[in-house]
Amino acid sequence: MKKIAFTTLGCRYNRLESAELAHELGQAGYAQAAEGEGPADVVVINTCAVTSKSAASARAAIRAARSGHPGARVVVTGCYSETSPADVASVEGVDLVLGNTEKFSMAAALKRLEDNPGQGALVLADHGPMPSTLAVRPVTGMSGRTNAYLNVQSGCDDLCSFCVVRLARGKSRSAPAAELVEQVKRLADSGIREVVLSGINIGQYQDGAMDLATLAEAILLETDIPRLRFSSINPNNVSQGLIDLMASEPRFCPHLHIPLQNGSDRILKLMRRPYTSAMYEDLLNRLAERVPGIGLGADVMTGFPGETQEDFERTRSLIERLPLMMLHVFSYSRRAGTEAYSLPGAVAKVDAKERTARLMELSAKKRQKFIKTHVGKEMVALAQNRRAANGKLRGFTANYIPAVFDGPDSMLNTMVRVVGLREEDGALYCRVAEEA
Ligand code: SF4
């Protein structure tokens, strides 16, 4: 069998697609090279395009592939290949460029390359129409993992003015619910304890009459997966049905990551986000009331064109009063092809950086406070398959607190009842609870 190595940049969605590609290529006669194994025959670089640094990272990965795997075919795919195929093809040493639609025809494209040696880089990225449904690939055995991501949806029909992702991923499309249920069964049978439903904008999931809430309900009803979680969902897509399901179904993890992006309605409007700060605040308060102990996270962007200090202060004070346990804070990155690219009012880098730092500080405080409310409480952590560097077991509680505790190897990849002892460095140090 030929050896194939992967370098994956960017988001979890890309990581899952790399696992799916490895699975498909395995069936076509390519064995995935283990980490640190000698030179591979093919190196796949699955790229990202989300920030202006993404292109530089992709180029560095191509150079590393060339020097680490002399003689290998270098395949570049993902969002950078989709949005800038000619740029990718011009990098020395690239043999094959595949857009996001073409990436799952990689085995056939590699064959084409072999049949036509010395032709220069082959580019297959014609921005053709994406398929109308998303294929479910029966990937299991994600080595070393207790949880698995499952792509239920791809693409996006929204028009957020800063976003390059929708350009790279096309219109929203969903995977058939019946196939997703079967895939969750396969994952559960292979030892996976937690499935995380993910996608580019999962709130746009639709299969006939089924939306995301009814899909989650069907998965919980028809499979015995111990835990179901969502990756990230926009506030305008959190339906009452979803909240009710989370409140009533113990296997549906009480945890949601809900991008806010900004707390100023003026900026939200410029971003073309379909909600206001008041709607967001109301949603989070309803969630906190209806699902006690829920872990809530948010993405926030600083330095969007036109963001004044006053806008930023609005964001900061909104976050201060929201029941959030953590933030992912990003500084705005100007991306060619987006509407925001030509907006006036660029924010100085130093100001955006300072705003980001202040929000990160606030996030750390909120996280510490939230975790501390769990000291003395009993909860269940899903212990990961591997110990931390300090020899301790680690895992996440249902509401997404990282728990650290001592225990025997027999506890790896199992649900462990723990009691919170203290907060330290953003984690909850625990002891294993005594048998009842
Ligand atoms: S919701 Fe907005 S930010 Fe998210 S993928 Fe769609 S357009 Fe991009």
Ligand 1 mutation target, pool 234, 271, 301, most atoms within 8 A of CB? 234
Ligand 1 mutation target, pool 12, 161, 166, most atoms within 8 A of CB? 166
Distance 19 CA to ligand 1 centre (A): 24
Per-residue confidence (pLDDT) for residue 240, from 0 to 100: 96
Distance 211 CA to ligand 1 centre (A): 18
Q: What is the pTM of this model?
A: 0.87
Class at the top of the CATH hierarchy for domain 2-124:
alpha beta
Fold of the 147-372 domain: pyruvate-formate lyase- activating enzyme (3.80.30)
Q: Three-class SS string for the chain?
A: CEEEEEEECCCHHHHHHHHHHHHHHHHCCEEECCCCCCCCCEEEEEECCCCCCHHHHHHHHHHHHHHHCCCCEEEEEEHHHHHCHHHHHCCCCCCEEECCCCHHHHHHHHHHHHHCCCCCCEEECCCCCCCCECCCCCCCCCCCCCEEEEECEECCCCCCCCCCHHHHHCCCEECCHHHHHHHHHHHHHCCCCEEEEECCCHHHCCECCECHHHHHHHHHHHCCCCEEEECCCCHHHCCHHHHHHHHHCCCECCEEECCCECCCHHHHHHHCCCCCHHHHHHHHHHHHHHCCCCEEEEEEEECCCCCCHHHHHHHHHHHHHCCCCEEEEEECCCCCCCHHHHCCCCCCHHHHHHHHHHHHHHHHHHHHHHHHCCECCEEEEEECCCCCCCCCEEEEECCCCEEEECCCHHHCCCEEEEEEEEEECCEEEEEECCCC
Distance 95 CA to ligand 1 centre (A): 31
Distance 165 CA to ligand 1 centre (A): 7
pLDDT, one tens digit for every residue, the chain (436 residues)? 899 999 999 887 888 889 889 888 988 999 988 777 778 999 999 999 887 788 899 999 999 999 999 989 999 999 999 888 999 999 998 999 999 888 989 999 999 988 887 777 888 887 667 778 888 877 765 556 788 989 999 999 999 999 988 888 889 999 999 999 999 999 999 989 999 999 999 999 999 999 999 999 999 999 999 999 999 999 999 999 999 999 999 999 999 999 999 999 999 999 999 999 999 999 999 999 999 999 999 999 999 999 999 999 999 999 999 999 999 999 999 988 899 999 999 999 999 999 999 999 999 999 999 999 999 999 999 999 999 989 999 999 999 999 999 999 999 999 999 999 999 999 999 999 987 6
Per-residue confidence (pLDDT) for residue 38, from 0 to 100: 76
**Residue list, ligand 1 pocket, CB within 6 Å:** 156, 158, 160, 163, 165-166, 200-201, 234
Ligand 1 mutation target, pool 153, 200, 233, 257, most atoms within 8 A of CB? 200
**Ligand 1 atom at minimal distance to the Cα of residue 200:** 5
Domain ranges in the chain are: 2-124, 147-372, 378-432
Distance 159 CA to ligand 1 centre (A): 7
Distance 355 CA to ligand 1 centre (A): 22
> Looking at ligand 1, which residue's alpha carbon is closest to its atom 1?
158
